[in-house]
Amino acid sequence: MKALILVDLQNDFCEGGALEVKGGDEIISIANKLMDHFDLIIATQDWHPANHGSFAANHYWRKPGQVIELNGLQQILWPIHCVQESFGAEFRPHLLTEKIDEIFQKGTDIKIDSYSGFFDNGRKKSTGLSEFLKKKGIKDVYILGLATDYCVKFTALDAKEQGFNTYLIEDATRGVNINENDSKEAILEMKNKGVSIIHSKLFLK
Ligand code: VGL
Ligand code: ZN
């Protein structure tokens, strides 16, 4: 059984969003076409309270891009994004959300960020995604979405670590690239840790 995980296909990561990822919108139509080829469709949703500790605006004199210590972990500060119930946190309007079987929200605890769809960044709390996939008999997990160098990467690494055959659909991901090569390095790291890097044309003829 194969699952497709759509990582954070939300307005704030697409064109005009608060944490806009270049080319983010190009992924939506690929995701729409791919969904029919899988047994189970999962979406993750970055879902922060307005006072979340990853927002630069919630710290004195801090700007996006700076790194602080948040509860003992290194934390990159971001612009305010994906605030619960806001337009920015909604899925991109042309995403065919009726095909999504289950949504896993993350980043809800103000004291800790959560890039992976499986665990928070301190790996203390599980979202329940791993157990959910196992209960559904899923062995193969395919991942696409935003952003390659953060949420996609950590979701893929955790999927592999949880024992799933893990595939990254590379042409259906885009990165933040604070440093020019971040996405390239993220893909290399996933590959080195056993994630298979594939292209959507494997499914779409
Ligand atoms: C993400 C930064 C902050 C992501 C989420 O979806 O990759 N990046 N929150
Ligand atoms: Zn976030």
β-bridge mates for residue 91, sequence order: 10
**Position in ligand 1 atom list of the atom nearest CA 13:** 6
How many angstroms separate the alpha carbon of residue 205 from the centre of ligand 1?
31
Which one-letter DSSP state was computed for residue 125?
-
The C-alpha atoms of residue 122 and residue 112 are separated, in whole angstroms, by 7
- CA angle at residue 172 from 171 to 174, to 5 degrees? 90
- Longest alpha-carbon distance in the chain: 52
- How far apart are the CA of 62 and the centre of ligand 1, in A? 18
Which CATH homologous superfamily contains domain 2-202? Isochorismatase-like (3.40.50.850)
Distance 110 CA to ligand 2 centre (A): 11
Residue 120 annotated in active site: no
> pLDDT digit of tens for each residue in the chain (205 aa)?
999 999 999 999 999 999 999 999 999 999 999 999 999 999 999 999 999 999 999 999 999 999 999 999 999 999 999 999 999 999 999 999 999 999 999 999 999 999 999 999 999 999 999 999 999 999 999 999 999 999 999 999 999 999 999 999 999 999 999 999 999 999 999 999 999 999 999 999 7
Instruction: Write down the domain spans for the chain.
Output: 2-202
* Active site annotation includes 36: no
| Mutation choice for ligand 1 from 149, 150, 153, 177, CB with most ligand atoms inside 8 A | 150
From the CB of residue 62, how many other CB atoms can be counted at a distance below 10 Å?
A: 14
Residue with tokens 């891009």: 65
